[in-house]
């Protein structure tokens, strides 16, 4: 006999987070009869009884890792009335729902590995509130058989927990214990060493050795952060002379090494467990982060990490296990092959990693995401008002800090940080990610968005796919994409009006064929106009100018009439040849790059003048130096129509003697020059707000100074996605969606 009841569809991040047992408990308390299941669209609840406050409870009381986007109530018809309320198996494959990112070990599991019981000291303890998700997932729906846990058959005790709706491990797909789950071991020279892997590894770290450790998304290289000899050895072996090294510390050890604000502590304890940048107390060797005022620290985020750092009883360097420029190593065999020259020993386990993910990096004060990866991906972003019916779009980003983006069902999935596409293995990882995300999320785009630069590998790849599949190809100017990404993150409506976009970065091809990088744009998702820009300077040697700051300093000093100062500052540099190249325009294209401007200032102040050992080193050291300043000389950039001329800054450098004050003056002058012009656009009514984007705005000091000078304007900044090219694909996707049919 048919009977009318109710159906509730819950959309969002609702699988693999304990949502079904949560619903079961709500139903039991309300005396409802029916079923709850996972399927391709999320969670489906069908029941008889009064829905009452169930819809509100589903939103307000959801499990810690759940993100509820929508709860839709409708009428349902039952062929036969259910007798009780049951949790049923997942439906068939599909990808309308959100996949949960990996989550740091929850307090209950942390406690369990220290208490007597069958999981005491077990490195793979997890439950529905924590543990691996995306890094073990091979296909949807998220069930054990579709993860790298499939080879591990549950023992009777784990099966009982898995099947019990009242247990926090109900349908926890990575559930395991020492009797049935992955195992851990330490090996040296390809041979397993007998004994407890954690204790053995801790002893080696205490002895100053370097240990490779297999984590969630790949391997780390670890050493004692207090041991300057171990740090020097790690840097020598890895060929990483000065790039800051990430640290892992227990919460009780943080205050001894960094200044921990409430915002930083909250960021550290987020389920994503990112690396968080915090002011250094100067108690660790300077070689951890040479020339930097901040240290990047994360808390242990797996039981393995908790057990190891407690056995070690101190702070560890925990840097990515990879060859220079290559992606992070993920498999045991790959680690043995590629990390053998770096590591004295390996902590291995036999659970495969389905996809590599670097650690995410954030700054807490003010909050900003610098690298979007483990724990944040594949979390999605809602599209702004006006994009509700946006077609499916794939966007491929740029050449640096590559990441791709998919738009589907009113959400944008911004992929994980991949790296620089010039590197062959990173390019392979990019192609794998493209196929992986498309398959995992059942994505069938109508349009492809790429950067305007025709020689970017991602641009060529997108163009080839569009031609092959008959898709609409949309080429998006680099800085327009940055502007759109900032607008989209802040949910600026599709028809919300034009915005003044201050976009400062390294470089991007302009529609005029010139290399841009210090821009004030007036625009929205549909288009833009270039309103002002830094006065261009030649990039002598092309790409070499990005790694050798003296080249940028030479051009800027010459333009300011300070050629003699350049000769004195860089006596061993090939200045005559460089000046000839600049004069003749031979491999010396003009650029308005703000990134190269900061490089030039840094070189003049003696920071990384000859060569940077990693991208952004000079600018990062310049910011750190500026933070030490007590005062700065007053400097205002020149104003020649639309061009913003930094020559007065270099004349101040020639007169000055306080490097820290001059470093601060560079930040203040740049912020003032662009903020003044952006505010004028708002005051005239042609712009409704100001947006700050581009990699140079990873500089927290510059962000603060610019926002202070726009205090009477609405200012949009990045918080959830990077200001750098890691978010470029998101902006491209929004511009393309606005241009496709129906928009």
Q: How far apart are the first and last CA of the chain?
A: 48
From the list 9, 30, 33, 38, the catalytic residue is 38
Mark whether 228 is an active-site residue: no
Contact 571, 592 (CB under 8 A): no
Taking phi first (over 0 means left), then psi (-120 to 50 degrees means alpha), and beta for anything else, what does residue 129 get?
Answer: alpha
> Which sign, positive or negative, has the C-alpha torsion 48, 53, 59, 63?
negative
Q: Give dist(CA 296, CA 359) in Å, integer.
A: 11
Q: Give dist(CA 635, CA 45) in Å, integer.
A: 64
From the list 11, 20, 133, 146, the catalytic residue is 20
- DSSP type of residue 145: G
Torsion of CA 215, 217, 219, 220, to 10 degrees: -80
Torsion of CA 319, 321, 324, 327, to 10 degrees: -110
Q: Give dist(CA 10, CA 464) in Å, integer.
A: 38
Q: Write out the two tokens for 262.
A: 């409430």
Q: Give dist(CA 362, CA 268) in Å, integer.
A: 9
Q: Give dist(CA 82, CA 255) in Å, integer.
A: 57
The 3 state secondary structure assigned to 496-543 is CCCEEEEEEEEEEECCCCCEEEEEEEEECCCCEEEEEEECCEECCCCC
Task: Give the Cβ contact number of residue 196 at 10 Å.
Answer: 16
Backbone Cα Rg of the chain: 27
149 closest CA partner among 173, 171, 170, 177:
173
Mark whether 126 is an active-site residue: no
Q: Give dist(CA 530, CA 642) in Å, integer.
A: 9
Contact 354, 138 (CB under 8 A): yes
Instruction: Please state whether beta strands 67-78 and 3-13 pair in parallel, antiparallel, or not at all (unpaired).
Output: antiparallel
CA distances, 443 to each of 119, 359, 379, 671, 721 (Å): 40, 26, 16, 41, 22
Phi, psi (degrees; rounded to nearest 5) at 64: -55, -40
> Active-site positions?
20, 38
């Amino acid at each position: 006999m048919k009977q009318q009841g109710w159906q509730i569809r819950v959309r969002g991040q609702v699988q693999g987070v304990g949502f079904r047992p949560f619903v079961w408990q709500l139903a039991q308390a309300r005396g409802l009869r029916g079923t709850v299941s996972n399927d391709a669209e999320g969670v489906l609840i069908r029941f008889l009884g009064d829905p009452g406050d169930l819809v509100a409870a589903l939103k307000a009381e959801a499990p810690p890792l759940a993100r509820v986007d929508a709860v839709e109530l409708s009428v349902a018809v039952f062929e036969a009335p259910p007798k009780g309320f049951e949790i049923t198996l997942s439906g068939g494959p599909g990808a309308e729902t959100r996949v949960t990112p990996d989550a740091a070990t929850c307090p209950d599991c942390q406690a369990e590995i220290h208490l007597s019981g069958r999981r005491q000291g077990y490195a793979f303890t997890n439950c529905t509130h924590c543990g691996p998700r995306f890094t073990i997932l091979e296909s949807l729906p998220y069930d054990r058989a579709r993860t790298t846990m499939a080879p591990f058959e549950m023992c009777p005790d784990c099966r009982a927990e898995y099947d019990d709706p009242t247990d926090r491990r109900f349908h926890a797909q990575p559930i395991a214990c020492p009797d049935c789950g992955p195992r851990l071991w330490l090996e040296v020279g390809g041979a397993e060493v007998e004994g407890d892997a954690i204790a053995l590894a801790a002893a080696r770290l205490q002895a100053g050795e370097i240990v490779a450790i297999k984590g969630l998304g790949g391997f780390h290289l670890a050493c004692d952060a207090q041991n300057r000899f171990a740090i020097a050895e790690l840097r020598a072996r890895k060929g990483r002379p000065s790039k800051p090294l990430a640290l892992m510390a227990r919460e009780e050890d943080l205050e001894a090494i960094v200044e921990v604000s409430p915002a930083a502590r909250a960021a550290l304890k987020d389920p994503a467990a990112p690396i968080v940048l915090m002011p250094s107390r100067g108690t660790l060797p300077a070689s951890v982060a040479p020339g930097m005022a901040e240290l990047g620290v994360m808390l242990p985020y797996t039981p393995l990490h908790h057990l190891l750092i407690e056995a070690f009883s101190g702070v560890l360097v925990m840097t990515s296990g990879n060859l220079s420029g290559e992606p992070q190593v993920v498999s045991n065999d790959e680690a043995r092959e590629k990390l053998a020259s770096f590591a004295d020993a390996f902590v291995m386990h036999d659970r495969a990693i389905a996809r590599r993910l670097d650690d995410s990096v954030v700054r807490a004060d003010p909050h900003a995401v610098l690298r979007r990866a483990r724990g944040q991906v594949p979390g999605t972003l809602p599209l702004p008002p006006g994009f509700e019916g946006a077609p499916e779009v794939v966007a491929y980003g740029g050449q640096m800090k590559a990441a791709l983006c998919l738009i589907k069902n009113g959400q944008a999935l911004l992929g994980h940080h991949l790296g620089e596409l010039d590197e062959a293995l990173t390019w392979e990882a990019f192609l794998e990610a493209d196929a992986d995300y498309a398959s995992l999320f059942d994505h069938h785009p109508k349009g492809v968005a790429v950067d305007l630069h025709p020689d970017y590998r991602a641009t060529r790849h997108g163009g080839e796919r569009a031609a092959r599949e008959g898709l609409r190809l949309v080429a998006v100017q680099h800085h327009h994409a940055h502007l759109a990404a900032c607008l989209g993150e802040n949910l600026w409506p599709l028809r919300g009006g034009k915005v003044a976009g201050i976009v400062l970065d390294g470089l991007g091809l302009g529609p005029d064929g010139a290399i841009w990088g210090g821009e004030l744009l007036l625009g929205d998702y549909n288009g833009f106009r270039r309103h002002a820009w830094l006065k261009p300077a030649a990039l002598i040697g092309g790409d070499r100018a990005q790694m050798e700051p003296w080249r940028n300093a030479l051009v800027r000093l010459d333009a300011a009439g300070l050629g003699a100062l350049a000769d004195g500052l860089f006596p061993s540099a090939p200045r005559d040849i460089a000046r000839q190249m600049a004069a003749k325009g031979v491999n010396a294209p003009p650029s308005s790059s703000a990134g190269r401007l900061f490089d030039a200032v840094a070189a003049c102040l003696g920071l990384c003048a000859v060569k940077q050992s990693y991208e952004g080193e000079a600018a990062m050291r310049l910011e750190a130096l500026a933070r030490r300043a007590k005062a700065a000389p007053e400097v205002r950039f020149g104003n020649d129509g639309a061009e913003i001329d930094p020559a007065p800054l270099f004349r101040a450098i020639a007169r000055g003697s306080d490097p820290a004050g001059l470093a601060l003056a560079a930040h203040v002058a740049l912020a003032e020059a662009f903020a003044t012009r952006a505010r004028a656009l708002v005051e005239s009514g042609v712009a409704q707000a100001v947006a700050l984007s581009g990699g140079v705005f990873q500089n927290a000091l510059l962000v603060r100074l610019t926002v202070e000078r726009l205090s009477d304007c609405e200012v949009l900044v990045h918080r959830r996605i990077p200001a750098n090219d890691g978010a470029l694909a998101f902006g491209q996707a929004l511009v393309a969606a606005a241009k496709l049919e129906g928009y």
